[in-house]
Structure 1
Amino acid sequence: MSTLTTTPNSETPQSPQNDPSSLMPKKLTRSRPLFDPEIVGRATRQSFVKLNPITLAKNPVMFVVEVGAALTTVLLLRDIFTGAGGIGFSLQISIWLWFTVLFANFAEAMAEARGKAQADNLRKSKTDTPAKRIGPGGKIEQVSSSSLRSGDVVLCDAGDMIPGDGEVTEGIATVDESVITGESAPVIRESGGDRSAVTGGTKVLSDQVKIKITSNP
């Protein structure tokens, strides 16, 4: 009489709690395009607001240009009302000076708006990023980055978003910090030395590191 034996399936289904793929962020925040309509609209409005002499006085060069533009505009209006000649030349000078001031204000406002948008995205990513916290006995549990506290140790693999500011305590990895610095080239972060500090919201591109959180969210 033969005995029927069953071989356990080596591919045991993993529970959602132990499945590493469930710990990965479902959606990464995309960077805004260079000429995002919302940012351009905000910068356009600010370029006129910054014409206020009190505000523009912080930039002496543009302040002098604005004073010159105002003087040429006054002279242009005088020539128009008195019927003097050479109005075309005065008009060109006035237009170019005002264009220079407005363009400088627009460029400055664009930089400020993009910086604010990046800060908002970074703040949102710090709040929404899932984290793999290492508990007692090395057990890994998935938590929200907002629940992390100073002293917690988290594990970050390639493709993970760093859930909070901290120090690398083990391992070495390349990290994309473009959301903060604007630099496209990744940087090396490793334990020990002066290259161990990491910032929440940045992305691990390769390898694996353990990070000790140094500040509460």
Structure 2
Amino acid sequence: MKILEVKNLRKEYGQGETLVKALDGVNLSVEKGEFLAVVGSSGSGKSTLLHMMGGLDVPTSGEVIVDGRNLAKMKDEQLTIFRRRNIGFVFQSYNLVPMLNVMENITLPLGLDGKKADGAYIREIVKTLGLEEKTESLPSQLSGGQQQRVAIARALASKPAILLADEPTGNLDSRTSQDVLGLLKVTCERFHQTMVMITHNEEIAQLANRIIRIEDGKLVKGSGLHDFCE
């Protein structure tokens, strides 16, 4: 079952001689439960692609379909609600609320949506990510790796259709990066979570089930374990 489809996606900035094609006709699909890594150098278009997949930016043309819903056909308010309920984000910066403790940060999106947290599910995420002893701690009392684990738990809390991770270990040292990524993979497998991860790091990408490469806004063939999943 396809959980994400990207069809002939284009994103252009400027015009004439200053025209920049950040995305130039990208087509790909992601199956439910898949862990896909998108690899590319700085300026290749990988973060633009992730922002389009998550409905954080609007394409010049083309379509993004998440869990059967076309993002382009939603009004702003509909898209905001859909994104909160169906798309989990993990960014390089942890974006935790400083005055909320770990558990409050994890359950914050559920509260914004007026939903009651699934206590058993949240406790299992917390345990899997090794945060049981930190639930009452404030972000300032945590290491970078622990803060990123809280961000991952928060992204998983609403049981999203897909998890999008943009350079999730960019602010962490190599050892902590490996720990966090290992936990991210474990949680995705345990909770049957679909994930797309953007990275410039080839070693990190090897953790994924499938790797694709983007250069100059286009997907490149021969880029990993498999090429495309059309």
Bin the TM-score by the shorter chain.
under 0.3
TM-score by length of structure 2 reads 0.26
Q: Taking CA–CA contacts closer than 8 Å with sequence separation of 6 or more, which of the two structures ends up with the larger relative contact order?
A: 2
TM-score by length of structure 1 reads 0.27
Name the structure with the higher helix share. Answer: 1
Larger-Rg structure: 1
